[in-house]
Structure 1
Amino acid sequence: MARFVRWAAWGAIAALVVAGCSGGSKDETDDGGKATAPDSPAASSGPPASLTGQKLDWGRCEGSSARGSGWQCATLKTPLDWSKPEGRTIDVALVRARSSGSGSERLGSLLFNFGGPGGSGVDTLPSFAPGYGTLRERYDLVSFDPRGVGRSEGVRCRSDKEIAAAETLDATPDTPAEERAYFQDADSFGQGCEKAAGELLSHVSTTDTARDMDLMRQVLGDTRLNYFGISYGTELGGVYAHLFPKNVGRLVLDAVVDPTAGAVGHARNQAEGFQRALDNYLKSTGQDPEKGTRKIADLLERLDANPLPASSGRRLTQTLAVIGIVLPLYSEASWPSLTSALKEAEEGDGSGLLVLADTYNERDSSGGYGTTSHSQRVISCLDDKQRPTADETREILPEFEKISPVFGPYLAWDTAGWCHDWPVKGQYDTPRVSAPGAAPILLVGNTGDPATPYEGARKMADGLGEDVGVLLTWKGEGHGAYGSGSDCVDSTVDAYLIDGKVPQDGKVCS
């Protein structure tokens, strides 16, 4: 089982395109009275001087895409449990490229999170840095692997063999036997995560990582945090702003998560977003969206009973086909790969869609798998308090099927299977992002975004509060806006980050 990237796996998308002040404020009462994770007094008082005064030993990066070209890596010590800041510590991996500017031109550090949750910033930043040349003239570019991810106590919940076996399961179960297998696999995954992560499993939340970020700010020597969050990184940025409003510097949130949506709400948003993207894709190829969607849904129905052979000797199942269709919708540049893969599948060859699914699932040619989805699950299941049941899924299934016969069933069942019988309780129904008194935060919403639909950007702006959230809209396609071909978006974001020029709320880039 592989959830649509909760908020995108940018590394997979990039691979596809190439191939074709200190301390935080005390929390206020949550808007709307929703259940949230409490913040302890110990956590609010901040970390000890032994941590805030630590000196980072920047050196050569080993075993990552950051080797050479001026990249440096270091390890930050941070509390395992932020309610006990003087207790046991864990390691958080950092990467940076020093600013190409000097003296008064330098503005400090610009911290990046590229999404997931579960994405490696140590690997991703070097890949995307060529597009950040203007920003690097004024900032050190810095990113990190959040706790529980990659080189920061990364979690691996099952073996490659077990992952491959799980891929054969039906993620939209139609029979009692398929449903039992689906939930048994979910239980097995959670047990594997508990065994692998141990005590860490209860300390990988978005709130924990936001506190790590404020420690990074202090250790890096910045009075305020300058930050660029993409996809899930926008939720992380919103949580940071809520916890540390006085420490907010220049924050950009691109491809913005809806902070008002719980587990079912996010699934519904994505069903609508991916169907909207599919409609736009179909229009671009001269097809009627309704008829084109029905054709794809019919293909998936056939695959449910009869998986297609692929050149690799494996078979394309219904579940893998859905994942294969999802991936190229993240980027308009990848739409041609979807056209060719669907054509092959209609002709009886599942190879194209299987390659796309493997890219999304981080499966290499030797059958090895990455662990982004493992980290993604342990983080999101600690965040999410909601645990929909199978019965609740059956109730929403007709609605989801109506929204999208292609993606709706998968996303509806995912609400029940993703954190089924999870070993630790979730922390909140929805994240707290209100940040009264914070400096203006720039949000960038893309009207064609499939994974974090545009409507969420306005809700985040409203949630941050009056005079804090400033919305910039791009009428474009794909997941994220900065660096996607709009000079208007790029120049507006650059002017904000470099010159502190805040655009008018509601500005639109066509």
Structure 2
Amino acid sequence: MPNPPQLRAAALTVTAVLLSSLMTGCSDGSKDEDLTAQKLNWKECPAPSESEGGGNAPSPLPGGTEWQCATLKAPLDWAEPKGDTIGLALIRAKTSGDPSKRIGSLLFNFGGPGGSGVTTLPAFGEDYATLRTRYDLVSFDPRGVGRSAGVKCEDDSHLDEYFQQDATPDDTAEQETLLTNTKTFNAACETHSGKTLPHVRTSDAARDMDLMRQVLGDDKLHYFGISYGTELGGVYAHLFPKNVGRAVFDAVVDPTQNPEQSSLGQARGFQLALDNFADDCTSKKDPCPIGDTPQDVKDRIATLLKDLDSKPIPGVFPRELTQTAATNGIAQALYSKDFWEYLTEGLQQAYDGDGRVLMLLSDSMNGRSENGQYSNITAANVSINCADAKPRYTSDYVESKLPEFRAASPTFGDYLAWGMVSCTDWAVAGAADHPDVGAAGAAPILVVGNTGDPATPYEGAKKMVNALGKGVGVELTYKGQGHGAYDSKNKCVQGAVNGYLLEGTVPSAGTVCS
């Protein structure tokens, strides 16, 4: 079962999978070399590794620009910068504009934690064509992800079983099964990746980004962070405030929350998105095929989920659609309004006893390809979250919180509450209750919040602005649906973001786009 932060994991990462229906280890290297002086060997990109999600090598951009890949050497342990090193996978598309007007590199992180930037950036490269007129577009697999010392836990067959389990236990026996499976998964992570697990914190990735900045030849880090990428960007700004260039945070994580507060906020956010989906379906001229009123839509979904708890239906052969997989699939479809049609179709089919569409949506969330191979997004997500977050929640504590979670969301409350046990028995202690993003003295950071965002609720944008410090965060509001704002293609949002990144024009604080 994905732990709660994975519900903000990688809507962008999996979108390409839906719409299109090597692991680098540690090496002894040269102990005394200056890693900031290394030269990157850019060359043709290979096909994504299994840990990155598999598939074909990235196609050239319109106009023929080829994607280039390289490996950056970084310390395994930033406390011992002359010690063992790991390789970090990078990808770039060089600027399309006048070289004399080139600003530098624009580094992207698309979220997770656990999403592969090496596979995601090419999938959405055309969306950033305007930004490429003055920047090289660059992204990377953060440490622990994909080809960057990717964490490995369980194999594909075990992951199929893991995601089939009942993640919302109704009795003591089901609770014990969930906790045992969680413990087994976490032990597998330690067995296969024990040397890496202490070194995949967000603060480690932020230090990697400053090394990237130097090796790429930029005086300042120009950055576009989405979802978890906003947390990573905030931690970077805290550690290196004077190195912040032009930065945009979109789909903003609330940096003041601990994992419990984040999960509860997501319960409210996904419930809001489901409410909006039900309202939309029943407000059109054509009859809504999954309910006559918004409440009827939600009641039928509740009945479906209750029935699946005791009697799953056929999904993607030979697997069945369970209550947990259906909940996961519904959540996935709420990431973007573009997915609502898939949700409607999936629910229609499920009511007729066919769970394939909802299971495919769930597979996308979990990083499972059509050939049954999993990327390492779940392993990386758990590893980074558990290394970052100090709290360790017990089943008794979760039980005590169920009423509050159910009040926040009848549909997703139990699912997100029980997700809090994901770090129980984790091999590495968590760093803090929540990240420190205070960045006094940094250049302005444009913070974009979406009022209908299910995974990173809108209130987090204001919290990020306040936490960054006076004169740093500049808030922009998008009155829309889905996870993130720039990829909605709203002209007001894109105009503000492009204006800042390309020309340095900071929008007025409190700007609202709709």
Identity %: 54
Which 10-residue stretch deviates more, 135-144 or 352-361? 352-361
1:293 pairs with 2:298: yes
Match of 1:261 in 2: 257
TM-fit CA distance, 1:364? 2.8
1:358/1:311 CA distance change after superposition, 3 Å: closer
1:465 pairs with 2:469: yes
Distance in 1 (CA, whole Å) between partners of 2:408 and 2:513 is 28
Paired AA for residue 63 in structure 1:
A
Paired AA for residue 301 in structure 2:
I
1:305 pairs with 2:289: no
Match of 2:46 in 1: 62
Distance in 2 (CA, whole Å) between partners of 1:238 and 1:191 is 31
1:369 pairs with 2:406: no
Match of 2:53 in 1: none
TM-fit CA distance, 1:314? 2.6
Aligned residue for 1:406, secondary structure, equals coil
Match of 1:327 in 2: 332
Match of 1:234 in 2: 230
TM-fit CA distance, 1:49? 6.8
Q: Is contact 2:3–2:420 with CA below 8 Å preserved after alignment?
A: no
Aligned residue for 1:83, secondary structure, equals coil
Alignment of 1:14-33 (within 5 A): 14-19=16-21
Distance in 1 (CA, whole Å) between partners of 2:44 and 2:352 is 50
Distance in 1 (CA, whole Å) between partners of 2:131 and 2:371 is 38
Aligned residue for 2:169, secondary structure, equals coil
Alignment of 1:199-218 (within 5 A): 199-218=195-214
Match of 1:379 in 2: 384
1:2 pairs with 2:6: no
Alignment of 1:426-505 (within 5 A): 426-505=430-509
TM-fit CA distance, 1:6? 4.3
TM-fit CA distance, 1:348? 2.2
TM-fit CA distance, 1:166? 1.4
Which 10-residue stretch deviates more, 282-291 or 148-157? 282-291
Distance in 2 (CA, whole Å) between partners of 1:48 and 1:128 is 39
Distance in 2 (CA, whole Å) between partners of 1:106 and 1:219 is 17
Distance in 1 (CA, whole Å) between partners of 2:327 and 2:18 is 16
1:408 pairs with 2:408: no
Distance in 2 (CA, whole Å) between partners of 1:3 and 1:83 is 29
Which 10-residue stretch deviates more, 173-182 or 439-448? 173-182
TM-fit CA distance, 1:61? 1.1
Aligned residue for 2:380, secondary structure, equals helix
Aligned residue for 1:395, secondary structure, equals helix
Distance in 2 (CA, whole Å) between partners of 1:103 and 1:347 is 58
Length-normalised TM-score, structure 2: 0.91
Distance in 1 (CA, whole Å) between partners of 2:338 and 2:58 is 25
For these two proteins, the number of residue pairs brought into alignment is 482
Q: Is contact 2:9–2:381 with CA below 8 Å preserved after alignment?
A: no
Aligned residue for 2:373, secondary structure, equals coil
Aligned residue for 2:449, secondary structure, equals strand
Distance in 2 (CA, whole Å) between partners of 1:217 and 1:48 is 20
Paired AA for residue 309 in structure 1:
P
Match of 1:114 in 2: 110
Deviation readout 1:297-340 (Å, 9 max, x if unpaired): 22111111111123634311100110111111001011011111
Q: Is contact 1:327–1:360 with CA below 8 Å preserved after alignment?
A: yes
Paired AA for residue 70 in structure 2:
A
Match of 1:184 in 2: 180
1:138 pairs with 2:154: no
Q: Is contact 2:314–2:354 with CA below 8 Å preserved after alignment?
A: yes
Deviation readout 1:221-249 (Å, 9 max, x if unpaired): 10000000000000000000000000000
Aligned residue for 2:8, secondary structure, equals coil
Distance in 1 (CA, whole Å) between partners of 2:426 and 2:318 is 35
1:421 pairs with 2:428: no
Deviation readout 1:143-179 (Å, 9 max, x if unpaired): 1100111111111201111111112211001122211
1:433/1:53 CA distance change after superposition, 3 Å: same
1:467/1:362 CA distance change after superposition, 3 Å: same
Deviation readout 1:95-123 (Å, 9 max, x if unpaired): 11111123321001000000010111111
TM-fit CA distance, 1:141? 0.5
Distance in 1 (CA, whole Å) between partners of 2:196 and 2:364 is 28
Match of 1:77 in 2: 73
Distance in 2 (CA, whole Å) between partners of 1:292 and 1:460 is 35
TM-fit CA distance, 1:54? 0.9
1:355 pairs with 2:360: yes
1:93 pairs with 2:89: yes
Q: Is contact 1:382–1:424 with CA below 8 Å preserved after alignment?
A: yes
Q: Is contact 1:7–1:231 with CA below 8 Å preserved after alignment?
A: yes
Aligned residue for 1:123, secondary structure, equals helix
Match of 1:50 in 2: 34
Q: Name stretches of at least 5 consecutive residues in structure 1 with no aligned partner.
A: 20-46
Paired AA for residue 402 in structure 1:
A
Aligned residue for 2:488, secondary structure, equals coil
Distance in 2 (CA, whole Å) between partners of 1:313 and 1:221 is 51
1:277 pairs with 2:280: no
TM-fit CA distance, 1:211? 0.3
Paired AA for residue 393 in structure 2:
P
Deviation readout 1:20-41 (Å, 9 max, x if unpaired): xxxxxxxxxxxxxxxxxxxxxx
Distance in 2 (CA, whole Å) between partners of 1:261 and 1:279 is 24
TM-fit CA distance, 1:48? 7.9
Distance in 1 (CA, whole Å) between partners of 2:361 and 2:445 is 35
TM-fit CA distance, 1:347? 2.1
Distance in 2 (CA, whole Å) between partners of 1:81 and 1:347 is 53
TM-fit CA distance, 1:8? 3.0
